[in-house]
Structure 1
Amino acid sequence: MRRGQLSDQFEGVVAKRLTEVETRPDKSNQHELNGSTALRKLMGDDDRRNIPARFIWVGEEEAAISVDGMLSWYDARRKHPVRTEYRLYYRSNEVTEVMAPGDVFFLAMRQDGSALLIVVPADSTVQNQLLWLFGLDDLSGTSFSFQQIEGAHDPELDFAARYILDELGVEPEEPEANILDTLIEPFGLRFPTTRVFSELARSSLPDVSAHDDPDGALVEWMEREEQLFRRLERRVVAEKINGGFQCAEGADVDGFLAFSLSVQNRRKARAGSALENHLEAVFQANGLRYARGAETENRNKPDFLFPGKAAYADPLFPADRLTMLGSKSTLKDRWRQVLSEAVRIRKKHLLTLEPGISENQTDEMRVKELQLVLPQKLHATFRPSQQAWLMNVGEFIRLVRERQGT
């Protein structure tokens, strides 16, 4: 499956921890960063005025803020025969107003000449994700770190990379568009049920075996379904836009906003359902006994209960042979919801596809006796200190088999 490379999107990136003076310009609505060696490697030595830029702030839980603006890169002493004084200039906006000392600043130059300026909280999940994506080491001090996107630092746009880019609003071109279009042709401009879409994704990858490689199968199936969904979504959205948003009073702004929100909600809802569908196929391929969405105490419904509802409801069935698994395609702070499900099971399991979750969150999960499960390929996005604790899908299956005596 061809996916493209990070260099298709970016030339290079710099990152640093912001200082007080860089976040609170006095009596001015403009910001200037001194042109360090790292910045000159990224921006070059020529003056570059009015660079189109998207400013993005992404918090740990809060919704992201995104605003378009401009950057300028120039040598304030361009006419001096010897001295140089490079500066990166940008005006204040909604993103710069919320950034704080200690936040991490990323400036990524795109292949089309535009820029992404991203600000995230220090030691957050999104910081870990961006450091991994761009191949940057942990930041020390307040100096810029630079990375050219090429050679050994040019990762394939696999599931984890695309997950992170999607959070930033970057949608790479699909290299297998013709194959995908052929697969979705029977649906016309209508979305099938998620279960039908999931079955199509799996059947389109006949060489993928969930029995031989459950971790790889789960990722490839999810990735293929995401590809299929986005291609069909493009068709549906294009048709709606071409039809226009008009009402008796003129432009139907409310209708446009409602449609936009429905697109976002459909993406989120389908991702969660698709993950459950593919997990179910993995469990079936490995001969596990389970119940999906079975009700336990207080009307809670764990995503998966092993070996099933009857065993869980039987007070004579040993609790140490019961297992529950929650599944969330994205985690954020929602992992705590799992803690109240299936009271008989002390140590709970939660599978997610979110890469690079912060150490603060995984430390708290350990304390709460919640074991995080991720496909093996995503383990590399976590810190070395976290990786030994993580469980992959194959290990989870072996645990359930042992408890089921199979």
Structure 2
Amino acid sequence: MRRGFLSDLFTGVAVKRLTLVETISEKSNQHEFQGSKPLRHLLGDDDRKGIPTRFLRLSGEQDAMAEDGFMSWSNVRKNKPRAPEYHLYYSTNAVTERMQVDDALFIALCRDGSLLAIVTPAESTVQNQLLWLFGLHEQPMFAFTFQPIADANDAELDFVARYILDELGIAPEEPDAGALDALIEPFGLTFPTTRVLSDLARASLRDISARDDPDHALVAWMDREEQLFRRLERRIVAERIAGGFVTPDGADVDGFLSFSLSVQNRRKARAGQALENHLEAIFVAHGIQHRRGAATENRARPDFLFPGPMQYRDPGFPPERLTMLGAKSTAKDRWRQVLSEADRIADKHLLTLEPGISEHQTHEMRAKHLQLVVPTRLHATYRPAQQGWLIDLAGFLALVRARQGAAGALSNTGGR
């Protein structure tokens, strides 16, 4: 199915690191960014007043902020016999008030002429994700860099790109919505269990082989399930909104907020369950002995234990033949939960679908003896210094297979 391209949403982007004079503080009341040639490539040479702008600050899992405002692009030397000097003025808001020196600023020109201004902490995961999305290969400098969204820099809106756009609150239309709607038609206005939807996602992609390419299979299956879920969610949510949020006393604000929260929580919970479902299907396809959600110490339950709980609890079973895998669709700060889930296993593994995790976090993972497992498709979103350390799903399967083979013929009692 065709997924669209980034150029369907944006025409170009400019990025820089913020300087003191560009941030709002006691030392600066200049609410502007110095114009430059890269900004002229983005915005042109004509003055533009009151450009509708969505300001975003993205720092972490629970630290996001959005404000609607405006920017104005002006040549302050217009009609003067001197070289043009452009300034980009911005409206003060909650996002701009939190800007700090060295933060990364991305200004993207949307297809409708509006702007998207995104502020992220320097060298953060979100910054890495945006650099990859917009095809920028260097870390931001104090001067703007311009990147047109075209040709080699025009990313296809696949699973990885849509993951990042979702962080920005952007949900591109599905070009093949009709085909997806036909698949979910039997569910009507009811969510099936996650396992049922996972089974449907895999069944609808019959040309995908987990045996031949487990990394591609995992991403393709997750992508398809996300498509199916979002289409069904759109139907169900639209029906609920059409019914209104009204009580005999007036608008049901609490009911609306509760419903909105339930939508967000369902998305997060189902994504994690779907990832485990598809990983389990891959382990079965490869004949890997495993147990999902087996108890270890202190009621901890790693997502996957290899070969299984019987071997884990056997003090005579070599610990170097044991493996555990945490599975988190987004690692963020929750990856530390994995560290206490299997005391007998010194070196732990975590599979995630999160692109471009910061070097600071991956350095900490290495120090904690946690190996990150990332599908091959996502490796390019990481910095070159990180990529040599990552392993893909095929590499993880080879590791587990070697350990299970070296342990001899194991009983199926502790596995699947």
- Could you tell me the TM-score, scaled by structure 2's length? 0.95
Specify the SS of the correspondent of 1:137.
Answer: coil
Cα distance, 1:28 vs structure 2: 8.1
Residue 80 of structure 1, CA deviation: 1.8
Flag structure 1 segments of 5+ consecutive residues without an equivalent.
none
- Mapped pair 1:315 → 2:285: no
* Change over 3 Å in CA distance of 1:164–1:109 after alignment to 2: same
Are 1:394 and 2:381 counterparts?
Answer: no
Q: Secondary structure at the match of 1:127?
A: helix
1:288 and 2:317 equivalent? no
Amino acid at match of 1:108: A
Equivalents in 1 of 2:335, 2:199: separation in Å?
27
SS in 2 for 1:64: strand
Contact 2:24 2:30 in 1 (8 A): no
Moved more, 200-209 or 29-38: 29-38
- How far off is 1:284 after superposition? 0.5
Matches within 5 A, 1:194-273: 194-273=194-273
Contact 1:350-1:372 at 8 Å conserved across structures: yes
Aligned residue runs from structure 1 range 376-391, under 5 A: 376-391=376-391
**Partner letter of residue 5 of structure 2?**
Q
The answer to whether the Cα contact below 8 Å between 1:30 and 1:90 also exists between their aligned partners in 2 is no
Same amino acid, percent of matched pairs: 66
Equivalent pair of 1:58/1:120 in contact (CA under 8 Å): yes
Q: When the two structures are aligned, how many residues end up with a matched partner?
A: 406
8 Å CA contact 1:16–1:105 kept in 2: the answer is yes
How far is the alpha carbon of 1:102 from its aligned partner?
0.7
1:15 and 2:15 matched: yes
1:35 and 2:32 equivalent? no
1:11-58 deviations in Å (ceiling 9; x for gaps): 000000001111125698761111100000000011111211110001
State the Cα deviation string for residues 264-285 of structure 1 (Å, max 9, x = none).
1110011000000000001001
Q: Which amino acid aligns with 2:280?
A: E
8 Å Cα contact 2:22/2:28 also seen in 1: no
Matching residue of 1:119: 119
Q: Any gaps of 5 or more consecutive residues in structure 2?
A: 410-416
Equivalents in 1 of 2:186, 2:81: separation in Å?
68
Query: Measured at CA, do residues 219 and 74 of structure 1 come closer, stay the same or move farther in structure 2, by a change above 3 Å?
Result: same
Q: What does 1:164-179 correspond to in 2, within 5 Å? A: 164-179=164-179
Partner of 1:136 in structure 2?
Answer: 136
Q: 1:114 to 1:330 in 2, by over 3 A?
A: same
Distance 2:53 2:355 in 1: 26
CA contact (8 A) 1:60 1:121 kept: no
Q: Give how far 1:139 is off.
A: 3.2
C-alpha contact 1:10 1:108 (8 A) present in aligned 2: yes
Could you say what secondary structure the match of 1:59 adopts? strand
**2:163 — aligned with what?**
163
Q: Which amino acid aligns with 1:373?
A: V
**Matched residue type, 2:83:** R
Secondary structure of the equivalent of 2:215?
helix
Deviation of 1:140 after TM superposition, in Å, equals: 5.2
Partner of 1:55: 55
Deviation at 1:321, TM superposition (A): 0.6
Deviation at 1:61, TM superposition (A): 4.4
- After superposition, what is the alpha-carbon deviation per residue over 1:114-170, rounded to whole angstroms, capped at 9, x for unaligned? 111000000100011111110113235410010000011111111111110000001
CA shift for structure 1 position 91 = 1.2
- Which stretch shows the higher mean deviation, 27-36 or 1-10? 27-36
In 1, Cα distance between the equivalents of 2:69 and 2:194? 38
More displaced, 303-312 or 131-140? Answer: 131-140
User: Could you list the per-position Cα deviations for residues 287-343 of structure 1 after superposition, in whole angstroms to 9, with x for gaps in the alignment?
Assistant: 011000000000000000000111111111111110000000001111111000110
Contact 1:56 1:66 in 2 (8 A): yes
The verdict on how the C-alpha distance between 1:29 and 1:197 changes in structure 2, with shifts beyond 3 A counting, is farther
Residues in 1 aligned to 2:378 and 2:28: alpha-carbon distance in whole angstroms = 43
Rounded to whole Å, the distance in 1 between the matches of 2:108 and 2:126 is 15
Following TM superposition, the consecutive aligned residue runs of length 4 or more in structure 1 with deviations greater than 4 angstroms are 25-30
Counterpart of 2:225, as a letter, is E
1:363-383 C-alpha deviation (Å, 9 max, x unpaired):
111111100001111001001
Rounded to whole Å, the distance in 2 between the matches of 1:300 and 1:374 is: 23
The answer for the alignment partner of 1:152 in structure 2 is 152
Amino acid at match of 2:50: N
User: Which residue type is aligned with residue 77 of structure 1?
Assistant: R
**Correspondence 1:58-137 to 2 at 5 A:** 58-137=58-137
Q: Which residue type is aligned with residue 8 of structure 1?
A: D
Given that 2:347 and 2:369 are in contact with CA atoms closer than 8 Å, whether structure 1 keeps it comes out as: yes
Tell me whether 1:355 sits opposite 2:342 in the alignment.
no
Aligned residue type for 1:163? Y
Kept in 2: contact 1:30–1:91 (CA 8 A): no
Distance change >3 Å, CA 35–CA 80, structure 1 → 2: same
In 2, Cα distance between equivalents of 1:60 and 1:361: 12
Q: Kindly tell me: are residues 140 and 257 of structure 1, through their superposed partners in 2, closer, same or farther at Cα, counting changes over 3 Å?
A: closer
Contact 1:17 1:141 in 2 (8 A): yes
Letter in 2 for 1:45: D
Over 3 Å counting, the alpha-carbon distance change for 1:180 and 1:141 in structure 2 is closer
Quick check: 2:15–2:140 contact (8 Å CA) kept in 1? no
- Tell me, what secondary structure is at the counterpart of 2:385? helix
Residue 309 of structure 2 aligns with an amino acid whose one-letter code is: K
Report the AA paired with residue 230 of structure 1.
R
Amino acid at match of 2:32: E
C-alpha change, 1:348 and 1:93, in structure 2 (3 Å) is same
> What residue identity is the alignment partner of 2:349?
H
TM-score normalised by structure 1 residue count: 0.98
Structure 2: which amino acid aligns with 1:312?
Answer: Y
